Structure 1
Amino acid sequence: MLIAFGGLPGTGKTTVSQALARRLPAAYVRIDTLEQAFMGSGEGRTDVGPLGYLAGYAVANDNLRLGLTVVADSVNSLDVTRSAWRNVALKAGVRIFEIELICADTTTHRLRVEGRTADIPGHKLPTWKGVCERQYDPWDSEHLVIDTANVSVEHAVETIIHHLSTSPPDIRTS
């Protein structure tokens, strides 16, 4: 199964997706890590465009074909990236479970964004202004939404586990 996370920076995607990957256990693919590796490759890149996502799709596909569950951690803010994750699952012959994390409390969200420190060497975190101005397409596919403003990481993981066990076993492509 492919478990694809999405949500604006500061909503808790990395924290929740890592906890879920440990709990399952599952392979973990983080787009920020891949993007930073491209930028740190010595070629002086400051913008890698879609390279991080393209690498993420390939790594996820490799692991899915090995029979592993994959947890994909990315902002996943565009229809095109969400569709691409669904295509990865379809090509690998596995189902996809999509999760959007939000933080409905603007003050809490802003404090998270402004109070974070990068856990990837050299990674430049977005500003609150950057988060607010980011293009974020509405979701048009079936997905689980979790508001992290008032739930613990453990509660979020339990909610996901519950939904994973009750969701239909078919491959969802819409």
Structure 2
Amino acid sequence: MLIIMCGLPATGKTTLARALARQTGAVHLRIDTIEQAIVRSGLGQHPLGPVGYIVGYALAEEHLRQGLTVIAESVNPLALTRDAWRDVAVRAGVAAAEIEVVCSDPAEHKRRASQRTVDIPGLPLPTWADITDRAYEPWHRDHHVIDTAGRGIADCLADIHHAIGLPRRPRA
């Protein structure tokens, strides 16, 4: 299965994607990691445009063809990129689940944005103004929305499992 996890910065995408990957044994594919690796290589600078996503699509398809579940995590602000992720699932012959992570409380969202720390060396974090000014196209098809405002990780993960019917990895 391809789990497409998206939403604005500081909504909790990375936290949820990492926890979901640990629970399920899925591959967590983070576009920020790919983009920053390209910048560190000297082959580009922020903003990179589509290159990080294009690399991400190729890696996701490779992992899916190996029979692995992939959690593709990115802002994914455009219908074009959302469609491209779904095309990856079609080419790999797997189901796709689209999850939009939101934080419906603007004060909490702003606090999260201001208190974030960099976990990828050199990655520039967006300011609150960058987040609120960012182009983010509305969704025009059914998808799952997980609101992290005032909620713990465990509750959000339970909602994801319920929404997409994803099994947990058996404990060893």
SS in 2 for 1:40: helix
TM-score, structure 2 normalization? 0.93
Give the 5 Å matches for 1:1-174. 1-43=1-43, 45-165=45-165
Q: Runs of 5+ in structure 2 lacking a partner?
A: 167-172
Q: Show CA shifts across 1:129-150 (max 9, x none).
A: 0000000000112211011002
Say which is worse superposed, 58-67 or 151-160, in terms of deviation.
Answer: 151-160
Contact 1:6–1:76 (CA<8 Å) still a contact in 2?
yes
CA distance in 2, matches of 1:129, 1:148: 20
Contact 1:26–1:68 (CA<8 Å) still a contact in 2?
yes
CA distance in 2, matches of 1:140, 1:64: 26
Contact 2:36–2:123 (CA<8 Å) still a contact in 1?
yes
CA distance in 1, matches of 2:133, 2:72: 24
| One-letter identity of the residue aligned with 2:88 | V
| One-letter identity of the residue aligned with 1:119 | D
Say which is worse superposed, 47-56 or 1-10, in terms of deviation.
Answer: 47-56
CA distance in 2, matches of 1:119, 1:30: 12
CA distance in 2, matches of 1:30, 1:75: 10
Contact 2:38–2:44 (CA<8 Å) still a contact in 1?
no
Q: Show CA shifts across 1:48-95 (max 9, x none).
A: 111110000000000000011000110011101100000000110101
SS in 1 for 2:149: coil
CA distance in 1, matches of 2:98, 2:154: 18
The share of aligned pairs that are identical, in percent, is 51
| One-letter identity of the residue aligned with 2:144 | L
Following superposition, the deviation at residue 44 of structure 1 comes to 5.6
CA distance in 2, matches of 1:73, 1:165: 19
Contact 1:39–1:47 (CA<8 Å) still a contact in 2?
no
Work out the number of aligned pairs and report it: 166
Q: Runs of 5+ in structure 1 lacking a partner?
A: 167-174
Structure 1 runs of 4+ with >2 Å offset:
42-47
What do you get for the CA RMSD once the two structures are aligned? Answer: 1.1
